[in-house]
């Protein structure tokens, strides 16, 4: 088996420059893997939700659609880094050991266990066979699932008051990733008897807490429901899709600041979240690649027709907004204004580029169309019940 992962050919729209997108992502992963800020013990580095995780999910797609003869060294390096940390789990230090980060040790472990399982399960799904490292990663993950309290069924999750993936509500996002990982793993892993109590607790948590979530968390929940059965009913899927449609902008894209926080009506806090960062700097009203790429991809995963008006507009936005210079898609932090000449200012563009690539090369819509009737914006009232609860 290869050290990274392989994938069957995917469709691609030739209006976008995938070679530049791949080059951008490779350079960013190279920087991340060698950045002092991401370095950890035993010669490893941490995995981020904005750069490394999206890269791991999207880079195999780019490699296959471009028929690259070899796996990029940075793809191999990332996967081997994850494997090494899984194998050394009992010996290796957490992302944050508590020195200057009170309470972050448990959060680090919980977060990493989910990310490790997802990355390795994704690789295994492309190979069609579960590896020992992936089974170990899942064992590590299930051992840290919370057994009691308000977050029973979820995992401790890193919180730095940074939306959308390191904030007070991000534990829910982490639980959706655990569901995606479990449902993605090949060889019927989700049906194994020994993990059914864990899955029951996870499904219960996702269901009971769903109504209180931000839209972006609900988008990840919708994604999870396409991978793992019993997460959402058809009616619940429909409700999320309609809510997300309602946030689509006139230009066809979506805006991260409009979906990252839970909307509590026309309160001062809700309004401030939409237009001001925590440092007081203003947010633009423009659509961005994180929200548009993610939503378009998840809509495809949910079996929405390629002819659906909302999805088509989202994909057209992506086709029209790739940076012609470096191949990336635009996105900025909703937390702080950063110097756009700095490396850290590109974190959200890293995620945006990966999600855009996934959306523009997705196979699921055409694959599903041959088996299922599609949910269409033009005929929602008659086709709601045709939306699949789970595609896998």
pLDDT at 3: 52
Residue 332 confidence class, pLDDT cut points 50, 70, 90:
confident
pLDDT higher than 50, residue 205: yes
pLDDT at 268: 77
Residues 12-22: tens digit of each pLDDT: 555 899 999 99
pLDDT at 4: 57
Region of 100 please: left (phi>0), alpha (psi -120 to 50) or beta.
Answer: left
Average pLDDT for residues 138-151, to the nearest whole number? Answer: 97
Contact 253, 291 (CB under 8 A): yes
pTM comes to 0.89
Query: What distances in angstroms separate CA 130 from CA 78, 187, 242, 338, 384, one per listed residue?
Result: 18, 7, 36, 41, 35
2 or 293: which leads in pLDDT? 293
Residue 365 confidence class, pLDDT cut points 50, 70, 90:
very low
Q: What is the mean pLDDT of the chain?
A: 88
Any idea what the Cα angle at residue 278 is, between residues 169 and 336, rounded to 5°?
A: 100
Q: How many domains does the chain have?
A: 1
With respect to residue 249, please indicate whether it lies within any of the assigned structural domains: yes
pLDDT at 323: 95
Cα separation, 246 vs 28, whole angstroms: 33
pLDDT at 101: 72
* From 2-16, 144-158, 299-313, 372-386, the region with the lowest mean pLDDT: 372-386
Cα separation, 53 vs 350, whole angstroms: 10
With respect to residue 8, please indicate whether it lies within any of the assigned structural domains: no
With respect to residue 317, please indicate whether it lies within any of the assigned structural domains: yes
Contact 46, 36 (CB under 8 A): no
CATH (domain of 356): 1.50.10.20
Contact 223, 180 (CB under 8 A): yes
pLDDT higher than 50, residue 292: yes
276 or 134: which leads in pLDDT? 134
Share of the chain above pLDDT 90, in %: 73
With respect to residue 205, please indicate whether it lies within any of the assigned structural domains: yes
DSSP 174: H
pLDDT higher than 50, residue 345: yes
pLDDT higher than 80, residue 387: no
With respect to residue 9, please indicate whether it lies within any of the assigned structural domains: no
pLDDT at 279: 78
Domain region containing 239: 18-386
pLDDT at 12: 52
pLDDT at 342: 77
With respect to residue 180, please indicate whether it lies within any of the assigned structural domains: yes
Cα separation, 364 vs 351, whole angstroms: 21
- Tokens, residue 168: 């007070």
Residues 53-99: tens digit of each pLDDT: 999 999 999 999 988 888 999 999 999 999 999 999 999 999 998 77
pLDDT at 388: 35
With respect to residue 6, please indicate whether it lies within any of the assigned structural domains: no
Residues 219-261: tens digit of each pLDDT: 999 999 999 999 999 999 999 999 999 999 999 999 999 999 8
Average pLDDT for residues 194-202, to the nearest whole number? Answer: 98
Residue 23 confidence class, pLDDT cut points 50, 70, 90:
very high
Residue 6 confidence class, pLDDT cut points 50, 70, 90:
low
pLDDT higher than 70, residue 352: yes
């Amino acid at each position: 088996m290869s050290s990274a992962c392989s994938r069957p050919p995917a469709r691609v729209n030739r209006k976008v420059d995938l070679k530049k997108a791949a080059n951008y992502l490779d350079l960013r992963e190279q920087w991340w893997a060698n950045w002092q800020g991401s370095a950890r013990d035993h010669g490893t580095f941490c995995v981020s939700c904005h750069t490394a995780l999206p890269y791991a999910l999207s880079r195999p797609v780019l490699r296959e659609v471009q028929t690259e003869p070899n796996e990029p060294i940075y793809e191999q390096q990332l996967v081997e880094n994850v494997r090494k940390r899984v194998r050394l789990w009992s010996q290796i230090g957490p992302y944050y050991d508590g020195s200057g980060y009170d309470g972050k040790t448990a959060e680090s472990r919980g977060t990493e266990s989910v990310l490790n399982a997802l990355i390795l399960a994704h690789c295994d799904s492309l190979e069609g066979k579960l590896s020992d490292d992936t089974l170990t990663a899942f064992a590590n993950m299930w051992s840290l699932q919370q057994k009691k309290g308000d977050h029973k069924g979820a995992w401790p999750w890193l919180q730095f008051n940074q939306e959308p993936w390191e904030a007070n509500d991000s534990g829910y996002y982490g639980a959706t990733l655990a569901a995606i990982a479990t449902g993605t793993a090949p060889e019927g892993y989700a049906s194994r008897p020994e993990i059914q109590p864990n899955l029951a607790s996870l499904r219960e948590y996702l269901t009971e807490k769903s109504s209180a979530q931000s839209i972006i968390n609900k988008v990840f929940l919708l994604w999870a429901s396409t991978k793992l059965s019993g997460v959402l009913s058809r009616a619940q899927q429909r409700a999320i899709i309609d809510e997300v449609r309602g946030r689509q902008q006139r230009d066809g894209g979506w805006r991260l600041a409009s979906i990252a926080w839970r909307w509590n009506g026309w309160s001062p806090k809700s309004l401030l979240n939409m237009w001001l960062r925590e440092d007081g700097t203003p947010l633009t009203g423009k659509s961005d690649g994180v929200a548009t790429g993610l939503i378009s991809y998840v809509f495809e995963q949910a079996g929405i027709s390629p002819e659906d008006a909302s999805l088509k507009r989202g994909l057209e936005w992506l086709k029209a907004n790739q940076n012609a210079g470096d191949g990336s898609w635009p996105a900025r932090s909703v937390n702080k204004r950063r110097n756009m000449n700095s490396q850290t200012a590109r974190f959200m563009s890293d995620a945006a580029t990966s999600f855009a690539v996934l959306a523009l090369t997705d196979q699921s819509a055409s694959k599903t169309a041959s088996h299922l009737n599609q949910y269409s914006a033009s005929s929602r009232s008659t086709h709601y019940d045709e939306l699949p609860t789970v595609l896998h």
